[in-house]
Amino acid sequence: MEATNELNESTNEVYETGLSRSRQKLEKSKLNVGDTDSVSKSEEERCHFAKLIENHKVDNITIEFFYKPHTLSLLFCIICGLIYLALGRTDTTLKEDVWHGSIAVCTVFLIISILVMPNGPFIRPHPAIWRVVFGISVLYFLVMVFVCFLSYEDARRALVWMYPDLANMTYDDILDKEYAANCSEITLSRLYSHLDVFAVAHLFGWVMKAVLLRHYGLTWLLSINWEITEMAFSHILPNFQECWWDIVILDVFVCNGVGIFIGMQLCRWLEMRSYHWESIRSLSSTSAKIKRAFFQFTPGSWTPTRWLDPESSFMRVIGVSILVVLWQIAELNCFFLKHIFIVRPGHVTTMARLALISTISAPGIRQYYLYVTDPLVTRVGTQLWLFVAIVITEAIVCLKFGRHFFERTVTLYIVLWVIYSVLSSFFIVFLCVFFAKKRHSRQRGISVTDYYLSSDYYGIRHGGGGVTAPDKGKPKKQ
């Protein structure tokens, strides 16, 4: 408990230090521009946005070489590579030219991304890695936009051109086993037979989801809602058909539940740690230097995450509920894309797409968390914007090319699923806020009904007769 208090105090000190620096800059700008509240507020928001969301800077740089731009060196490497590849290639086919040209364009674009793209909220292990991730996200988004203007035959032909092994792939390759067969037969051996490599990947996936969200209520809401989603779409996608014991025992309690528990315990362990990073140059032994280099791939700090608290506004509840619904759509896109374009689950394209979405969701979720909880953040970050754009564009591609799937859709099931997803997300999130209020009231000796009977909770000022929103739907920093 003392470690937690020390961590919270250090976190508040860092936050206050950042704000004090921003305010010092504001005081200097006031002398030149003029003392106006609007300029001060916008400047403070801009500095806060750049520091925490858009372009997190690296403090205490010890090895300057790894954090210099090297713009001329990269330009020289690009020119030398183009000269060698453009003038040294002969007797090539059109397919090889297009393929190698596409790889060269993507490579040059990623190099440019290292130079000009924003860092985002993360800087470990190196900001350049997150710039490359952002560049790959932009390329993938542009590819999905281009696919929207193709016919299904042309899109499938382009995919086969890149991966010839997909030419002879059929739906039998995707549906490689029976689904929801002999559900009345429940034995330990049968349960154990379902714990394959995909079950391990399933568990690991929920560990990562818990690490990203860091909230028991939200992760369990996603877990239950996803099983409901599978049942709602099982008449369209056969691999969503599962026995009840597979859903309840293996999915909800074993893979999802254990994964959530491990992920939350990992978050708790990281939150309790003290982070004092020593320069690698100050270390004398080789083993200590190797250990320090290894820990460069771990978080540089770990701040407590509070999606919902007793002071959560109505708009904050809506914002968290939107996150839950958007997460369900992103999960659905994966299954629809591989069924529409006939790609087996273990194919490199499926795994690459999962790795990309999982990676870009990390800075996107962090930016969304700050957007819905921090009153100084008034606009979304670039990574979050791109993540939402990718998810929606993928859904458009699924709707365009999956018409033969949706022809057998039972409209009632989908309508009920939409209603359930929206209402359950809002209800559970609101319930989390209610219990947070109740727990907070017990600690302070205040009745929970005081939060609802007070008109100040809804932003209504006594005597004024009007409604005010001083935080624009966001809680104030405590």
Regarding predicted confidence, which is higher, 219 or 46? 219
pLDDT band for 469, please (50, 70, 90 cuts). Answer: very low
Q: Give mean pLDDT, residues 295-321.
A: 84
Cα separation, 362 vs 209, whole angstroms = 9
Tell me which residue has tokens 């005010």.
468
pLDDT at site 125: 85
Asked whether the predicted pLDDT for residue 448 surpasses 70, the reply is no
Q: Is the pLDDT of residue 462 over 80?
A: no
- For the ranges 91-105, 276-290, 328-342, 367-381, the lowest mean pLDDT is seen at 276-290
d(CA 52, CA 182): 53
For residues 80-90, give the mean pLDDT: 86
Residue 164 in contact with residue 146, Cβ under 8 Å? no
Q: What is the pLDDT of the chain when averaged over all its residues? A: 79
pLDDT value at position 478?
Answer: 40
- Rounded to the nearest 10 degrees, the angle between the axes of helix 411-444 and helix 314-340 is 140
pLDDT at position 30 is 42
Q: What are phi and psi of 472, to 5 degrees?
A: 55, 45
The two tokens of residue 86 are 């453009």
Among 207, 233, 222, residue whose Cα is nearest residue 358: 207
Compute the half-sphere exposure of residue 45: CA atoms within 13 Å on the CB side of its CA: 15
Q: Compute CA distances 477 → 50, 52, 189, 467, whole Å.
A: 18, 15, 53, 21
Backbone torsion region of residue 301, taken as left when φ is above 0, otherwise alpha when ψ lies between -120 and 50, otherwise beta = beta
In this predicted model, what pLDDT tens digit does every residue of 247-287 receive, in sequence order?
Answer: 888 888 989 999 999 999 999 998 888 777 777 777 778 88
Is residue 44 within 8 A of residue 22, CB to CB? The reply is yes
Confidence of residue 235 (pLDDT cuts 50, 70, 90): confident
Residue 459 has pLDDT above 70, yes or no: no
Percent of the chain with pLDDT over 90: 31
pLDDT at 62: 67
Distance separating alpha carbons of residues 308 and 447, to the nearest angstrom: 19
Structure tokens at 379: 């606009």
Name residue 377's amino acid: V
Residues 358-363: contacts with CB under 8 Å, at least 24 apart: 358/205, 358/208, 359/133, 360/133, 360/134, 360/137, 360/386, 360/387, 360/390, 361/212, 361/330, 361/387, 362/122, 362/212, 363/120, 363/121, 363/122, 363/130, 363/133
- Low-confidence winner among 90-99, 124-133, 189-198, 224-233 (lowest mean pLDDT): 189-198
Asked if pLDDT for residue 28 goes beyond 70, the answer is no
Helix extents (H) in 341-381: 348-373
> Residue 460: which pLDDT band, with cuts at 50, 70 and 90?
very low
DSSP 273: S
Q: What is the mean pLDDT of residues 429-451?
A: 70
Which residue shows structure tokens 């999962």?
354
Compute the distance between CA of residue 372 and CA of residue 377 in angstroms, rounded to an integer: 8
Least confident interval from 61-75, 170-184, 412-426, 438-452? 438-452
Longest distance between any two alpha carbons in the chain, whole Å: 85
Secondary structure of residue 432 in the 3-state scheme = helix
Q: Give the pLDDT band (50/70/90) at residue 58.
A: confident
Residue 6 has pLDDT above 50, yes or no: no
Q: Rounded to an integer, what is the distance from CA 365 to the centroid of its chain?
A: 4
Exposure on the CB side of residue 350, measured as CA atoms within 13 A: 17
- Give mean pLDDT, residues 352-374: 91
